[in-house]
Chains A and B, each alone.
Chain A
Amino acid sequence: GAGVSQSPSNKVTEKGKDVELRCDPISGHTALYWYRQSLGQGLEFLIYFQGNSAPDKSGLPSDRFSAERTGGSVSTLTIQRTQQEDSAVYLCASSLQALYYGYTFGSGTRLTVV
């Protein structure tokens, strides 16, 4: 597609439920990133996929968070047993080569845990 597509744009869930957030990167972009941004805060790195390499999971805050990328394209971020502190905007970005082109961000998923 023309841009990075994320769905849903908004998600309200009850504490303790599992949620799945989806990211469809720009076609041909081999790198895909997940960040989260809490209200008024900076970007917090979560996970990074590059081609067929093992993902860099160093930013995942707990084992309740996981992500996969199927076929080198679409990615799903899963949060199990959601907590109120998980409420944030989850941003996906993709890149052809971040060193030279930086990232292109999607419009984000706003997650609210009630």
Chain B
Amino acid sequence: QKEVEQNSGPLSVPEGAIASLNCTYSDRGSQSFFWYRQYSGKSPELIMSIYSNGDKEDGRFTAQLNKASQYVSLLIRDSQPSDSATYLCAVNRGGSQGNLIFGKGTKLSVKP
């Protein structure tokens, strides 16, 4: 089992819809969870972090964490074409405070 798994996509949603991006992880000792957005040809940019079970909202973005199920998700409400990018899930390696493990990313395409 891969340490951090994401559906590679592409995930295509119409403009204005909710985009739902999912991530599962294998290390039960992981404590910190991050979502990065990477536009084509650019470097990853941190958009959300979550540490506790439940939901965390920031503008149009909501991160959801379920440690029992080892599952993290990112919801993007009112999706815009400018949200079209690859979204990377990152999880800290249990027992390590400094090293994050990245999933391969889900490519999101928002159609006007």
A residues with CB within 8 A of B: 31, 33, 35, 41-43, 45, 48, 50, 56, 91, 95, 97-108
Check: B63 CB closer than 8 A to any chain A CB: no
**A-contacting residues of B (Cβ < 8 Å)?**
31-32, 34, 36, 42-46, 49, 51, 88, 90, 92, 97-105
Q: Of A35, A48, A103, which one neighbours B46 at CB under 8 angstroms? A: A103
Contact B32 A43 (CB under 8 A): no
CB distance from A77 to the nearest CB of B (A): 15
Let me know if B105 and A99 touch, CB within 8 A.
Answer: no
Asked if A99 contacts B46 (CB within 8 A), the reply is no
The answer to whether B44 touches A43, judged by C-beta atoms less than 8 angstroms apart, is yes
- Shortest C-beta distance, A102 to chain B (Å), equals 4
Cα-based distance from A38 to B55 in the complex (angstroms): 33
How far apart are A112's CB and chain B's nearest CB, in angstroms?
14
- A42-B104, A43-B88, A43-B102 are contacts. A99–B97 as well, Cβ < 8 Å? yes
With a cutoff of 8 Å between Cβ atoms, the chain B residues found around residue A98 in the complex are: 32, 92, 97-100
Chain A residue contacts of B99, Cβ below 8 A: 33, 45, 48, 56, 98
Min CB distance, A53 to chain B, in Å? 9
Q: Are B103 and A105 in contact (CB under 8 A)?
A: no
B32 / chain A contacts, CB cutoff of 8 Å: 98-100, 102
Kindly provide the distance from the CB of B1 to the nearest chain A CB, expressed in whole angstroms: 16
User: Which of B36, B43, B90 contacts A106 (CB under 8 A)?
Assistant: B43
CA distance A48 to B104 in the complex (A): 19
Query: A42–B92 contact, CB under 8 A?
Result: no
**B97 → A minimal CB distance (Å):** 4
Interface residue from B31, B46, B97, B105 paired with A102 (Cβ < 8 Å): B46
